[in-house]
Amino acid sequence: MDRERQPHEPETDSTLPQSIRRHLNWAISLEAAGFVGAAGAVVYYMFPGGHFPPSVFGGIAAVGLVILAVLIPRWLCRHVIGAKCPTRDCPGKAFPAGAHPMVYVCRSCKRSYPTGVSEGDGGSLPY
């Protein structure tokens, strides 16, 4: 059943342009791989045989490594590696902007493509 999307209805994954959908999937995958890889490296190098980190500095360095392993791919995908602009005549790149919801904006033609995907909990605290 094919119907037109209402103006207030967010776009779903199937209505997103393929280049943006692919970029979003790669960005999420790279962040997850960075986290798992860094956590695995920390466990492998710092806890051989069940020993705890030898110092507080080692523990801080381990946590910092895991955080950087997530933030570096995130920064690259948000500022350096962009999705191809879905507009046919535009040779530009679209980059994610905002987080609630995430919107891809082309740097050349300035068109925006809302994804309907939100990061985090919207900034609201439970208390």
Task: Name the more confident of 121 and 31.
Answer: 31
Q: How confident is the model at residue 33 (pLDDT cuts 50, 70, 90)?
A: very high
DSSP string for 35-76: HHHHHHHHHHHH-GGGPPPSSHHHHHHHHHHHHHHHHHHHHH
**How far is C-alpha 70 from the geometric centre of its chain's CA atoms?**
9
- Global pTM? 0.69
What is the sign of the dihedral through the CA atoms of 34, 99, 86 and 90?
Answer: negative
pLDDT in tens, 61-104: 888 888 999 899 989 988 899 888 888 888 889 888 877 788 88
CB-count burial class (<10 Å; 0-12, 13-18, 19+) for 4: exposed
